[in-house]
C-alpha cells in the first residue's frame, strides 16, 4: 500500500467497488419491469409525431449472464487482491506467482543441469545444448558490459582473447562471475615524479609492447619505472596474483595511446565487475563459465581468427 499514504484510499476503493456491484444488482432487481401500452406494446413515449419507443425485451439468459458476472466479481474479489488492501483468501501476489514459475522452471531444468554438473568444462563447451543455454545466460547477464560477442569495450575486458588479469581457466571465470572482482590501480603520478617524468614513463610503457612511442622519452622514463615495478614487475609482464596487467602485450583495457596511459598513471582506476551469485545459481554459473571459456578456446586458433570474408 505504498502508493497511498493513508488507509482512506483503500476504503475509498472498497466503497466504490462494493457500491458498484450492489448498484448493479439493485438496478437489475428494480428496473427489470416496464410499463407498456397493452394494445400496441409501446412505452407510450412518442417523438416527432409518430416515432414511438417499442417494448423490445432482452432475452432472459442475457440477464442471467449479467448476474453471473456479478457473482464472478464477488468470488474473484474474495479470492484475489482487488478490494483495497484486502489480500484475498488465496494470498496471491505477482511476485509469488513469479517465484512459483521460477521454481517450476528450475524443476524442469533440474535434470538438464544435473547432466551438465557431471560434465567437465571442455565437454560442456562441446555440448550444443549447454552452449545454447550459456549463450542466452551471457546475452541476458553479461552482454550489457562485455557486448554480445564478448569482446568488451574500453574498460570492459575482452573475453575472447587469452589475456586474463587475475588467473585463468574455468574455475577462475566461475569465481569471477559468482563473486565479482575489483581491479585497482592507485594514482601513481606523485610517486613517479614531475609531469615530464610521467610522460616519459608512459612512453616507456608503450615501448614495452612495441606500440607507437617516442624513443627518447622512453629512454628517459625507464629509470622511473621502478614505481610501477612493484605490481607490474621489473620487466612489466604483470603479476597475475595481484591482478596487475601485463604491459608488454598490446591489450589496452583502459584505452590506447600516450594520453590514456598518462591518465592512468596520474588518476589510477578502480574497475568493478559485480557479483552474480545472487542472480545465477551455481549450476547456471558453471554453464556460463564454460561458455565464456569457450569464447577464447574456439577450436584451432588459426581458423578461429582467420580473415573475415
Partner 1 sequence: MDSRTDTSTTVQGAVKTVSLYQKSKKIYPRAVHGFFSNWRWALVWITQIVFYGMPWLQWNDRQAVLFDLLTRRFYIGGLVLYPQDFIYLTGLLIISAYALFLFTAVAGRLWCGYACPQTVYTEIFLWFEHRFEGDRAQRMRLDAAPWNGEKILRKGGKQLAWILFALWTGFTFVGYFTPIRSLGASVLSLGLGPWEWFWVLFYAFATYGNAGFMREQVCKYMCPYARFQSAMFDKDTLIISYDAERGDPRGARGKKVDPKSKGLGDCVDCGVCVQVCPTGIDIRNGLQYECIGCSACIDACDGIMDKMGYEPGLIRYATQHSLQQHLTRAQMWRRAFRPRVLIYTAILVLIVGAVGTSLWLRSPFRVDVVRDRATLARIVDEGRIENVYRLQIMNATEQTQRFRIAASGLPDLKVDQTSDIEVGPAEAQWVTVSVQAGFEAATQAGPGSHEIHFDVERVDAKGAPAVVREKSTFIVPR
Quote the least distance from Cβ 259 to partner 1, whole Å: 14
Size of the site for partner 1 (CB under 8 A): 47
Residues 207, 220: Cα–Cα separation, whole Å: 12
112 in the Ramachandran plot: left (φ > 0), alpha (ψ -120 to 50) or beta?
A: alpha
Q: Which strand (E) or helix (H) includes residue 79?
A: helix 60-79
Nearest CB to partner 1, comparing residues 43 and 275: 43
Distances (CA, A) of 114 to 70, 103, 111: 49, 16, 5
Task: At 244, give phi and psi (nearest 5°).
Answer: -90, 125
Contacts of 261 by beta carbon, 8 Å cutoff, 6+ apart: 202, 205, 206, 255
Residues 87-106 that bind partner 1 (CB under 8 A): none
Quote the least distance from Cβ 58 to partner 1, whole Å: 5
Q: Which strand (E) or helix (H) includes residue 176?
A: helix 170-179
Residues 79-102 as b/e (b if ≥16 CB within 10 A, e otherwise) read ebeebbeeeeeeeeeeeeeeeeee
Nearest CB to partner 1, comparing residues 66 and 92: 66
Q: Compute CA 168 distance to the chain's CA centroid, rounded to the nearest angstrom.
A: 25
Report whether 218 contacts 207 (CB < 8 A).
Answer: yes
Can residue 300 be called a binding residue for partner 1 (CB under 8 A)? no
**E strand intervals along 203-243:** none
Can residue 212 be called a binding residue for partner 1 (CB under 8 A)? no
Calculate the CA dihedral of residues 294, 297, 299, 302 and round it to 10 degrees.
140
Identify the DSSP state of 51: E
Quote the least distance from Cβ 140 to partner 1, whole Å: 11
Site string for partner 1, 223-252 (x = CB under 8 A): ---------------------------x--
| Interface segment toward partner 1; rule CB under 8 A; list 100-108, 149-157, 222-230, 270-278 | 149-157
Residues 149, 300: Cα–Cα separation, whole Å: 18
Can residue 151 be called a binding residue for partner 1 (CB under 8 A)? yes
Residues 17-76 that bind partner 1 (CB under 8 A): 31-42, 44, 46, 50, 52, 54-63
Collapsed DSSP state (helix, strand, coil) of residue 137: helix
24 is in an annotated binding site: no
Quote the least distance from Cβ 52 to partner 1, whole Å: 7
Quote the least distance from Cβ 97 to partner 1, whole Å: 16
Q: Binder to partner 1 among 53, 114, 149, 179 (CB under 8 A)?
A: 149
Quote the least distance from Cβ 49 to partner 1, whole Å: 10
Q: Is the dihedral of CA 254, 257, 262, 265 positive or negative?
A: positive
Site string for partner 1, 256-275 (x = CB under 8 A): x-------------------
Quote the least distance from Cβ 115 to partner 1, whole Å: 21
Q: Which residues bind partner 1 (CB under 8 A)?
A: 31-42, 44, 46, 50, 52, 54-63, 135, 139, 143-149, 151-154, 250, 256, 303-306, 308-309
Annotated binding site for heme c: 142, 145-146, 185, 228, 231-232, 273
Amino acid at each position: 500500500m505504498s502508493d497511498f499514504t493513508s488507509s482512506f484510499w483503500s476504503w475509498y476503493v472498497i466503497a466504490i467497488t462494493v457500491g458498484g456491484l450492489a448498484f448493479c444488482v439493485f438496478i437489475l432487481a428494480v428496473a427489470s419491469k416496464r410499463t407498456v401500452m397493452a394494445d400496441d406494446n409501446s412505452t407510450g413515449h412518442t417523438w416527432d409525431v409518430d416515432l414511438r419507443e417499442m417494448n423490445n425485451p432482452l432475452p432472459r439468459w442475457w440477464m442471467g449472464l449479467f448476474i453471473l458476472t456479478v457473482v464472478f466479481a464477488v468470488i474473484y474479489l474474495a479470492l484475489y487482491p482487488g478490494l483495497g488492501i484486502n489480500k484475498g483468501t488465496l494470498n496471491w501476489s505477482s511476485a509469488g506467482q513469479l517465484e512459483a514459475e521460477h521454481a517450476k522452471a528450475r524443476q524442469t531444468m533440474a535434470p538438464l543441469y544435473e547432466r551438465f554438473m557431471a560434465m567437465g568444462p571442455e565437454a560442456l563447451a562441446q555440448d550444443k545444448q549447454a552452449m545454447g543455454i550459456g549463450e542466452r545466460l551471457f546475452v541476458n547477464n553479461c552482454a550489457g558490459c562485455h557486448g554480445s560477442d564478448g569482446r568488451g569495450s574500453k574498460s570492459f575486458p575482452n573475453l575472447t582473447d587469452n589475456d586474463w588479469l587475475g588467473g585463468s581457466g574455468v574455475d577462475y571465470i566461475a569465481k569471477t562471475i559468482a563473486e565479482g572482482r575489483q581491479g585497482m590501480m592507485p594514482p601513481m603520478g606523485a610517486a613517479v615524479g614531475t609531469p615530464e617524468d610521467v610522460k616519459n614513463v608512459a612512453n616507456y610503457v608503450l615501448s614495452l609492447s612495441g606500440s607507437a612511442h617516442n624513443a627518447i622519452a622512453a629512454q628517459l622514463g625507464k629509470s622511473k619505472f621502478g614505481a610501477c615495478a612493484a605490481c607490474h614487475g621489473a620487466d612489466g609482464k604483470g603479476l597475475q596474483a595481484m591482478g596487475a596487467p601485463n604491459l608488454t602485450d598490446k591489450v589496452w583495457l583502459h584505452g590506447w595511446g600516450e594520453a590514456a596511459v598518462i591518465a592512468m598513471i596520474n588518476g589510477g582506476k578502480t574497475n568493478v565487475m559485480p557479483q552474480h551469485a545472487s542472480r545465477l545459481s551455481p549450476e547456471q554459473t558453471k554453464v556460463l563459465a564454460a561458455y565464456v571459456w569457450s569464447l577464447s578456446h574456439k577450436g584451432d586458433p588459426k581458423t578461429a581468427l582467420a580473415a573475415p570474408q
